[in-house]
Amino acid sequence: MMIDIFLIIVSIIISMIGLTFLYFNRKIFGSKLNVILNGSIYLFLGIIFFTFFFLSTEVSFTENLALIFWYLSIFFWVISLSALGLIHRFIINFEKKAILSMFIYSLFIGIIIGLFFIPDSFTINLINGFYRFNSQNLMLLYLILVYNLIIIGVMCYNLMKYYPRIRDKKSRIMLCVLTIEFLFLIIIYSINIIFQNLFFKYFYTAVYIIGAIFASYSLIKKPFLFIELTNKIYDFIIFHRSGILLYSYNFETGEETDESLLKGSILIGINHILSNFINKKDQLGLIKMQNRDIIFEYDNKHGYALLLTTNHKNSFITNAVSNFMKKFTGLNKEKLQNLTGLIDVSEFRNAKDIILEFFEPFIINN
């Protein structure tokens, strides 16, 4: 009993650290949905499921209460798997909403919960000082196992499909490690629910604790792993209202570019947009193309505009652009106000440090 309580406390502490970091750093992760899904993994899997999973086998409780704990552990297990499947998909590619996946997950969860109401789906036995649960409803057992296999299949499919499109080598490796850890965890749980063996119970626990520590470390130290890994930024350009290029950065090469390397048609188009929108109330903020989004942000007071091209706009990029504009303006306010005649654009090279600060997930590290 004491070792189980200790393990429950360890799992809760790890989960609370993760939840606390998510709450106080929620802006880092862009969308609220991303934060909610990551938080639900800690809440449902690390706290609620883990607690009921361990308490269900403890003989300190009555058999009826232990059975209730066992059913609750299964319920929160399938809920946790749904959240895990969705966050894995959204981490890789948020652009296409996983509506079909959500429907399938909801369907399985509904059927599994419905089968809970069949009497004596599980019977309880006392063996070697612990409760064991025997499945009398094979349909329920098979559905749980099939659901586990579906999540494994979906995660493997998404990883293999989008792997070549992930931004950089480091992200690819880290995502593979995290994916393998969770897949291994699901497999061990499936074995445990079939054989109800004490060894697999604690083996599952060891794998989970190690995986939770690694996942939490990654979340805190490398939050870029949890922000849509296939979305990319291509060009980042800052123009003065006069049409002069102040700074340009290419995210694909990781290098600054000058005006001579930009295509003339791009410069003409940007100058046209600036001349027509920079001093107007209704400003053009986004141009959607087939495979690109072109984002515009203006600072009318200081007379410059920012252009960014990406696969598609998301909340992280929106926040990063806003933060960049604030810091860039703060550092270059006097220079921008005094721009007349011949402009020395080298004075705006500090933009690169600001880009590295706010757009870290999109900096290519091959």
pLDDT at 346: 81
pLDDT at 106: 87
Reference 29, options 227, 280, 178; nearest CA is 227
Q: Which two tokens stand for residue 173?
A: 């490796």
Tell me the average pLDDT across 327-352: 82
* DSSP helix/strand/coil, 72: helix
Q: Which two tokens stand for residue 283?
A: 């400003």
Looking at per-residue confidence, does 277 or 238 come out higher? 238
Q: Which two tokens stand for residue 302?
A: 């200081």
Most confident of 4-8, 43-47, 301-305: 43-47
* DSSP helix/strand/coil, 111: helix
Tell me the average pLDDT across 138-167: 92
Domain ranges of the chain: 2-226, 233-362
Residue 182 has pLDDT above 80, yes or no: yes
pLDDT at 209: 94
Asked if 29 and 316 touch (Cβ cutoff 8 Å), the reply is: yes
Tell me the average pLDDT across 34-42: 91
Residue 22 has pLDDT above 50, yes or no: yes
Tell me the average pLDDT across 74-78: 95
**Interaxial angle between packed helices 138-162 and 63-92, expressed in degrees from 0 to 180 and rounded to the nearest 10:** 20
- List Cβ neighbours of 7 (8 Å cut-off, separation of 6 or more): 50, 54, 205, 209
For residue 47, which phi and psi values (nearest 5 degrees)? Answer: -110, -65
Please provide the average confidence, as pLDDT, over all residues in the chain. Answer: 85
Asked if 286 and 321 touch (Cβ cutoff 8 Å), the reply is: no
Query: Whole-structure pTM over 0.85, yes or no?
Result: no
Residue 165 has pLDDT above 60, yes or no: yes
Tell me the average pLDDT across 203-214: 93
pLDDT at 334: 85
pLDDT at 41: 94
Sheet with 233-240, strands from edge to edge, namely 255-256, 245-250, 233-240, 304-310, 293-299, 286-288
pLDDT at 92: 85
Residue 155 has pLDDT above 90, yes or no: yes
Asked if 181 and 215 touch (Cβ cutoff 8 Å), the reply is: yes
pLDDT digits (tens, 9 = 90+) for 84-133: 998 888 888 765 556 777 888 888 899 999 998 888 889 898 888 889 99
Asked if 303 and 334 touch (Cβ cutoff 8 Å), the reply is: no
**For domain 233-362, which architecture applies?**
2-Layer Sandwich (3.30)
Q: What percent of the chain has pLDDT over 70?
A: 89
Which pLDDT band, with edges at 50, 70 and 90, does 145 fall under?
very high
pLDDT at 273: 60
The least confident of 25-29, 71-75, 106-110, 330-334 is 25-29
Which pLDDT band, with edges at 50, 70 and 90, does 70 fall under?
very high
Q: Which two tokens stand for residue 330?
A: 């703060």
Tell me the average pLDDT across 162-190: 91
AA identity, residue 307: L
Give the DSSP H/E element, type plus range, for residue 206.
helix 198-221
Domains 2-226 and 233-362 share a fold: no
Instruction: Report whether CATH 1.20.59.10 matches the domain 2-226.
Output: no
AA identity, residue 160: M
pLDDT digits (tens, 9 = 90+) for 242-298: 778 889 998 988 888 765 445 554 555 566 565 555 555 455 567 777 778 888 888
> What does the alpha-carbon distance between residue 158 and residue 26 come to, in Å, rounded to a whole number?
25
pLDDT at 43: 96
Looking at per-residue confidence, does 196 or 70 come out higher? 70
